[in-house]
Amino acid sequence: MRIFSNFDTNIRSKCILEHSAKYSRENILCFWRSRLYFFVKIFFPLLFLLILCALIIVVFYYVFDGDYLLFFSLATFVLSLFFLIPLVWKWIDYKMDFIIVTPDYLVMYDQAWIFNKKVITLNEKSIKTISIERKGFLYSVFNNWDIIFLAEGDVTEHGDVKLKWIPKPEKRRQQIAKIMHKEDFIK
């Protein structure tokens, strides 16, 4: 669904189809944030927010004997919006940030907000290293780490492109190396 000119919810599937037509499906790789990101950054905070709002309403209901219930319900709803907006932002990050790897280049789509999309394209020859950054307990336990692509000559991004919360990063790095150094793809 296309809401604004730079906020297309079907961009991932469109890009996969476009690159599959050019390189064939075996010669492209598309990956995005893990489900752990969804649970840690979106689901559990949303669940906590809903439980907290319900508890606040119940407490005020019993403290004031049902008086002002509508007022406290509306106040709780309005205050919860301040915490809900960052969750929507993280959901957009979860659903719309992805990387497509082809034999010739790597494209990273970063939808920061509804009106802010960044697309970074790196030529296969400019990528010098593919690093994996390991940090934190949850990253290690669930095998979700950050993948960093170090490229030469990119001043605006300081030479690196980073996608966080990638599942099985070692496997992804091997798949990327296999695709980018493959010469027998169909043109």
- For residue range 21-37, list pLDDT tens digits in order: 998 888 899 988 899 99
- Name the least confident of 35-39, 133-137, 144-148: 133-137
59's tokens: 């407490």
Please state the length of the chain. 187
Count of domains in the chain?
A: 2
Q: Where residue 41 falls among pLDDT bands split at 50, 70, 90? A: very high
Phi, psi of 8 (to 5 degrees): -115, 115
Q: Per-residue pLDDT averaged across 122-146, rounded?
A: 83
Residue 10 shares a structural domain with residue 26: yes
pLDDT at 39: 94
Question: Mean pLDDT across the stretch 60-71?
Answer: 81
Higher pLDDT, residue 100 or 150 = 100
**186: in domain:** no
**How is residue 25 annotated by DSSP?**
G
Residue 55 has pLDDT above 60, yes or no: yes
CA–CA distance, 109 with 121 (Å, rounded to integer): 9
In this structure, are 172 and 104 located in the same domain? yes
The answer to whether residue 65 sits within a structural domain is yes
What pLDDT is stored for residue 180 in this prediction? 84
Residue 81: inside a domain = yes
User: What share of the chain in percent tops pLDDT 90?
Assistant: 14
**What pTM was estimated for this model as a whole?**
0.79
Cβ pair 3, 9 in contact under 8 A: yes
**Residue carrying structure tokens 């336990």:** 141
Expressed as residue numbers, the domain containing 87 is 40-91
* pLDDT attached to residue 2: 54
**N-terminal to C-terminal alpha carbon distance within the chain:** 31
Asked, for residue 167, whether it belongs to a domain, the answer is: yes
What is the CA angle 136-139-145, rounded to 5? 110
